[in-house]
Structure 1
């Protein structure tokens, strides 16, 4: 029975909830805090007593954590500034664990912060309490009034000027969209350039170019007369909208270049220390291209190329704590998969590939204190989001410094050597040499089958691989711990814990999963060519509304590894599961890569047959035109030009009746016996409108009308 920092404990009898704040290196003492007490302070507990309470049922562990604040994307700049000011007050004291939990030391820290930041004693205690109760992340300090006011909305420009009135200059200019566009042009033309002009210089150039009411010449020099002061935007307005629309990194990169920014101005998330104390002190993550060609599970004739293998390794124990195998190159998407796998229950993960293991065989389901990765793997993702949500610090290896991640790099070599002799389609050293074998033609395994092989190899590595180059410290030698990843991990959990962090799997995935806009249509919720539905959409008649009023967009989170279920995002923390509709059931349990391959193949097939289809359409048009042409010619030959329009249309009913009777006679069923003609069959003669034995010519319209009048008179 082990405890981890950030776990939630429920005291069953009083229904109180506590968070574990700190565990000592010897796994003897822990500090916890009451989550529902507005005046709570850290409480010291013995680990042995807590274990007893678990066994007796007095307390129990909670998987869900409703007290953690997710993300900062929904908050205004004002709220983020409030959070950052509070963090500045307490950031130096909260890292001094466990001293900060001592009342006297905490009081000294508080008095020092009061003098340094001008904050009251109760305010500092409130900051500390919120930080501890809400997950020990910077986002715990976000204000609780995030739903009040017009959060994140820009006020409409009206007749009355917005903002604080000026003391000295009376301006009537409201910054509307037209003015903001002028600001953008001026900033990008005069300020965000390598010339490094001052902001006031850019403002002056803007006034000269866009706010001139007249031009005159003095000594042959063209000069401008600018608008009156009340018709000009102020430098304060110009500066405000610059700071609102452009981030500091964007500005520095535009003015000094990306290389200079990376060298002298970027945020430094890593440090030079590489020592680790126990499990979870530091994970390393990296990706490599597998040296084997794979085929699609939908059609084994389709060769889909080589897979990308992501591995996450705990530096202390060398145990593989997370993997991802797919077709995504080194990017945030692939890294996201690997990170989410680190917090996944490995028993459940292996069961997805029909591999049965126990919890003890692969016990890792935690986030580390530090994650070391390549910059490319986090390209396009805001790393601060991990810091804020999980207090997970990210270190980036420098370019061309693979040795910084030597542990995980070495493991890739081990994987390749282990599986090479057994796999068809595996690339040998003579790959791409002239006259050598084309290994692509030997491709046999699907992505799932290859993943199953790698999982088996990792299980063997974690449980049995002897790390001959692992340098054991004095404690490991004294306790007789073998340098095998799983044994090192288990020993570290018992003797050097405190760095591993537990977060609910759903919370981690929602923060990591990519998001995209889906379209609600009358056929379903369409995302990347796949149709979904969900309980909310059915209950609120979304699809009927879409058919009547048109489609609209919704935000969807999805796991690219399995598109059977996606998630409709309601707000920051709530979501609805969306399931495949019958028309898209063929994509069940398929990855986004395999689905894209199928859809791409279908489009290629359509393009191949589109030309022949077009030829058939053109042939059909020609055949119809020939029939129409012949019909027109016959009509011209027999058409009575003496008839008026009234006479031509006046007898449509009579003509239709005569035509119908004739058609009935032609279409009536006559069945023959033994393929011969029955001579005894009664023939029913068709009686025409006028019977004659000599004259079979057709009546004219006038004659027909006359005959009908005579019949009516009779």
Structure 2
């Protein structure tokens, strides 16, 4: 059981004193230790502090119960309120709005009185009459806390006032028809339903009737009597706790509960919604006051689109040993004539891509489409190549950015069915059952009811038909439906009966074209596909038109020098952005759309981006994301290497500084140092040439040179006779330098 506490939770205490105590949680501290609660039926009193742990333990041990329904909940809108009611609410809210925000100070006795006194004094300042009293503020606060901490809780209880069609206050005399056997002690005269009884009725309906168990109203009455109209309890011989009810003449009857329920809770939609949920009500209990054909004047007034996964496994057209799974079938039906105007059989979806393919098929010529599968048809057999006035589809495919270009550019209205409302697309749903009924007896690989049951046959292994062949079968089924299927449940109009129009889709279509035309529209095939494709933004850069990391170009961009302007910063931010359409399956092209969606400029992927060719957008996005991941992953190691590099550079510089501090002669002036740059460079270059010069077949241990001395002189004398070429070069350069200075 969920025993977590939240603000506005209702806690009913079992065997409480006073009895039937229901408290509302007003505030919980940040430490989840203390909660302030308030009796929702109290005439007096103030919020009380309780430990959260104690309340949770009570709920866990079933000493207390969390109510799912709030008896004070009021579903109101401002349109349903009178001006007097709105003024009353606004006036009350203006008095306490500043107080209810001061939590938890307003709940403490030590600070509550002074806060309320400040509000009263501020309101009465400068007033000589109609002054505010503290009692009024306390009443507003109690009402606000008891009834859900919202502004509508401050609305007056005008429903309790007398008037025509309003409940009357009860007196001493029993209202209503007198009981026939009132003289019997076990029956009695009965009681008038009081305000306290009505509160019990509300609580009982919320607790026992509007819940998942879906008790009947009579069972609810019994549970209410046991819970709230007992005087004592007893335990039987087995130790079972049982309630002792008060005398019959002191408790309300089932008729009184039923009468109150029908008067106060006459909204059957609300009642069923609370018991079973909005989805179940819409699907199973709503009134069926219209048909699919309503609001359809003629062909093209509304198309219905939906998808299903066929109950058959297919094999690959490239290799019959490859089982590729179950295909997706998209079907589009014209509501007026029941003609199937578009179809897509493939592996995409259910998704916008599959819906896009079916919509494109609905608006294109069917002769060429059938020829692709080896089927020849006449132009009158499937004359559907139009866009409708409206398309009713599923929220998944037709909700979002993908269809936004359809509405303004092709003037097609998109209608989305509510969640779990397959009945809104009943024509398509019914046709899917027809398809499965036709193909089941003949197709190998069809899934039967015992599929995946223990001992059942694995039908996937029987697969023999590929997707091309399955599409051909679907086309034959559509031809049969459009041209021969008699719609026994179709409600023909009087004019149709007069013209002797059979309820066959093709005849209804032709009759509608002749008598109810004007809803169908035709566009060039490329324009339709342009507006069906997803749209996005691309950016003009110096390298090309950038979209998802790829670069494109087009003739218009080259003629108008888009890329040169982008590099020269001659384009504004808005000028750089382009509205484009694209097909994620063919990223080699994108299409720059005109503002009205009726023209486009085809852009080609640039050669440097050949790595993106023959890949779809999803593959490219994955590749870019993978490269970004590798980059991010390398940043840690790269940063470490960069830090190490800085340390190596600093080490070399430090060694250089240390060497310079020892070897630099401070007696040499700065001018002398600068003046000797050319001489020093030449000397350094000569020495490095000797060091850098190539020597082939060099040995690691050089062979010592043998010097043959002269007979009449020793080696030292012989060495002195050899000229020092480096010294001679230096002298010659110095002489040349001195001549130029003179």
TM-score range, shorter chain: 0.3 to 0.5
> RCO greater where, 1 or 2, for CA within 8 Å and sep 6 or more?
1
Q: TM-score by structure 1 length?
A: 0.44
Q: TM-score by structure 2 length?
A: 0.43
